[in-house]
Amino acid sequence: MSSLEADLAMTVGAEQVLTDPDLLDGYLWDWTRRYTGAARCVARPGSAQEVAGVLRCCADRGVPVVTQGGNTGLVGGSVPGAGAKQPAVLLSTRRLRRLDPVDTLAAQVTAGAGVTLAELRAHAAAAGLEYGVDLAARDSATVGGTIATNAGGINTIRYGPTRAQLLGVEAVLTDGSVLSRMAGLAADNTGYDLTQLLAGSEGTLAVITAARLRLWPAEPVAAAVLAGVSGVAAAANLYAEIRAHLPGLRAAEYLEAAGLDLVREAAGLPLPLGRPHPAYLLAEIAGTPEQAERLGEVALPDDTAVALDRGGRAALWAYRERHTEAISKAGIPHKMDVAIPLGRIAEFRGELDGAVRAAGGPDCRVIVFGHIGAGNLHVNVLGPDPADEAVDEAVLRLAAAFGGTISAEHGIGRAKAGLLHLSRSPGEIAAMRAVRSALDPSGVLNPGVLFT
């Protein structure tokens, strides 16, 4: 055993340092199977102090550290880079499993970085409260990973993304210092907000070990609505109309025929409505059954399903939530996660297929879905070789040309590091790099993520 592995074993316990290639394999491939790289070992610390020990061991030797939570990230940031100069230590946060009793007075909770979203949400629900972030990877995605990516998800239009839930963090820098701001003060105006700085930092500034999170009053879900529409413009207009009539609107999601067909094929599901449509809007409404009756004031398309009971709502949601797995079943996708100003989203969509095919060839399959309420479209392309980045660049350039962003919610990761300039100015990138150098002077945290 080299001295690094020996020192790591002293820090976290020998059984928490994995070097067996078969055990490493599961940590080294990202969820999409598009990204992989080499690691010399996996270290699994069980406390902030152990994380500090791991980081000191690596920073002293200049060994890269890739932090990994649930490994559900979709931009290659949770696994080592293929062309890395030297193999990394993969730091798994899954043993950071603190979950304190819910503070019902403040409507807050403290959770360890390795707690999954599903566990956190169930814990909050048992206290009559709700955690504001939810997404289909909820059974694996972790508190730490969702903070590091500033994850969005299906309820962003109601509660905001992860950063809006974040009241404090405990995090460890590469010099081993532990920053802890966990009092959950809703009013605390004391200089730079280091907590918020870590939201969206993608493992490049510090390792988050725990967080103090805001909770919301649990709201009963009254209805899910699936409406067949002609395309993205109609979906956006219908979203705005439902929003105007129903203040309890908590999700507004977009689907197209190509994705729906893949989901139906993968999951063996019937047509969701009376006939096929080019596109669909799925909306979820909170409130009492009486409040949901205001749906009657909305000019819903003729082919619309409204589900009031839990089973019926879940059946409609399956068509949306199973997109990611159904697409991956059909191939290794190029996943682009853009947001476009709603007023220009139809124009963007109109040019998208042409741009993809010009870059990737006529056989590319384009599958678009997403969180229409946030102007967030997930553009998935099947066909081109995983290593070929031409369609990725074409889609992201198109998004930028329409005043959009190259990352609505998944982050930059390794996938888009070379295109950060499409969404951030040279001055902003220089400032971001300066922050990174200040917090991680040895540059060992996730090299190749966020910046090339």
- Chain positions contacting ligand MLT, by CB under 6 A: 74, 136, 323-324, 335, 337, 378
Q: Where are the beta strands (DSSP E) in 121-165?
A: 129-130
Longest dimension (CA), the chain: 70
Closest CA to 54 of 201, 147, 145, 172: 172
**Count of residues near ligand FAD by CB under 6 A:** 37
373 binds ligand FAD (CB under 6 A): no
145 binds ligand FAD (CB under 6 A): yes
Question: Which residues in 384-413 contact ligand FAD (CB under 6 A)?
Answer: 409-410
Residue number of the CB atom closest to ligand FAD: 145
Rank residues 170 and 392 by Cβ distance to ligand MLT and give the closer one: 392
253 binds ligand FAD (CB under 6 A): no
d(CA 176, CA 48): 9
DSSP annotation string for 262-289:
HHHHHHTPPPSSSS--SEEEEEEEES-H
CB of 70 to ligand MLT, least distance (A): 13
Closest CA to 182 of 225, 213, 220: 213
- Partner interacting with residue 72 (select from ligand MLT, ligand FAD, none; CB below 5-8 Å by kind): ligand FAD
Question: Which residues in 311-340 contact ligand FAD (CB under 6 A)?
Answer: 324
* 18, 39, 111, 135: residue in contact with ligand FAD (rule CB under 6 A): 135
If 0-12 CB within 10 Å is exposed, 13-18 middle and 19+ buried, where does residue 211 land?
buried
Question: Which residues in 52-71 contact ligand FAD (CB under 6 A)?
Answer: 66-71
* 17, 120, 124, 137: residue in contact with ligand FAD (rule CB under 6 A): 137
The helix (H) or strand (E) run that includes residue 1 is none
Closest CA to 213 of 173, 256, 184: 184
- Partner interacting with residue 378 (select from ligand FAD, ligand MLT, none; CB below 5-8 Å by kind): ligand MLT
Rounded-to-5 percentages of helix, strand, coil across the chain: 40, 20, 40
Placement of tokens 């946060």 in the chain = 93
Rank residues 66 and 215 by Cβ distance to ligand FAD and give the closer one: 66
Residues at the contact surface with ligand FAD, assessed by CB under 6 A? 31, 66-74, 77-78, 93, 113, 135-137, 140-142, 144-146, 148-149, 151-153, 202-203, 207-208, 324, 409-410, 446, 449
